[in-house]
Chains A and B, each alone.
Chain A
Amino acid sequence: AQSVSQHNHHVILSEAASLELGCNYSYGGTVNLFWYVQYPGQHLQLLLKYFSGDPLVKGIKGFEAEFIKSKFSFNLRKPSVQWSDTAEYFCAVNAKSGYSTLTFGKGTMLLVSP
């Protein structure tokens, strides 16, 4: 079974600061990788995803993530955060083989101060 670890539970940044949220997964086979975002009081929305090809994927709102297979990592980045990026961010993984459910990390709460 796969597992996902998000290293930071809470991150506080000032506007215009750069962001990097860590995500590591554990699984012996090939995987699909996702980042979801949950704005306060709202449901989870897909931010970006990696299935195959270029390991650097770009998502909505200026976010990007890089899949580093050797490190089992899929860190989320944004060069300059905005107050509106305040939200909880979830990394998720599932196995490519067959059909498997998503395994979510515990989430990282990002607070951006204006």
Chain B
Amino acid sequence: DAGVIQSPRHEVTEMGQEVTLRCKPISGHNSLFWYRQTMMRGLELLIYFNNNVPIDDSGMPEDRFSAKMPNASFSTLKIQPSEPRDSAVYFCASSTTSGSPHEQYFGPGTRLTVT
């Protein structure tokens, strides 16, 4: 099993630019989660999808953030325009509601630096 795949692994961009982070969940998993990790705030849930439908986006910080899941094997998190305070590691995780419920498998993360 390839695990959760995220790209890019590192992204450096200038303030004001659009940033798109990508995630491929584990095949067969029907839930997908986007998290942000910073020193100050720890691990924060931004949004999660169940069967490709956004269930809870209350963690999305502002309208500059948007997420989509067009199909079961792909999701994007977009920041437009980006700001220096968006610098963080963004993790994608997936899980299944069958078998061992609620156990989430994390991807390697994307380290975003906005200058």
Contact = CB atoms under 8 A, between A and B. Distances in A.
B25 interface: no
A24 B42 CA distance: 17
B70 interface: no
A36 B102 CA distance: 13
Nearest to A92: B104
A49 B103 contact: yes
A101 B33 contact: yes
B101 A99 contact: yes
A107 B38 CA distance: 12
Interface residues of B, number: 21
Nearest to A34: B103
Given A43-B108, A43-B109, A44-B91, A99 B103 contact: no
A60 to B, nearest CB: 14
Most chain A beta-carbon neighbours within 10 Å: one of B50, B93, B97, B104: B104
A99 B42 contact: no
Counting chain A residues whose Cβ lies within 8 A of the other chain, the interface size class is 20 to 34
A101 B45 contact: yes
Interface in B22-47: 31, 33, 42-43, 45
A99 B43 contact: no
Contacts of B105: 46
Interface string A75-113: 000000000000000100010000111101111000000
A43 B91 contact: yes
Nearest to A105: B42
A51 B100 contact: yes
Contacts of B104: 102
25 contacts: A34-B103, A36-B106, A42-B108, A43-B107, A43-B108, A44-B93, A45-B106, A46-B103, A46-B105, A49-B100, A49-B103, A51-B100, A90-B43, A99-B31, A99-B101, A99-B102, A101-B45, A102-B33, A102-B45, A102-B104, A104-B42, A104-B43, A106-B42, A107-B42, A107-B43
In the complex, the 3 A-B pairs of residues with the closest C-beta atoms, listed nearest first: A44-B106, A43-B106, A106-B42
Interface of A: 32, 34, 36, 42-46, 49, 51, 90, 94, 99-102, 104-107
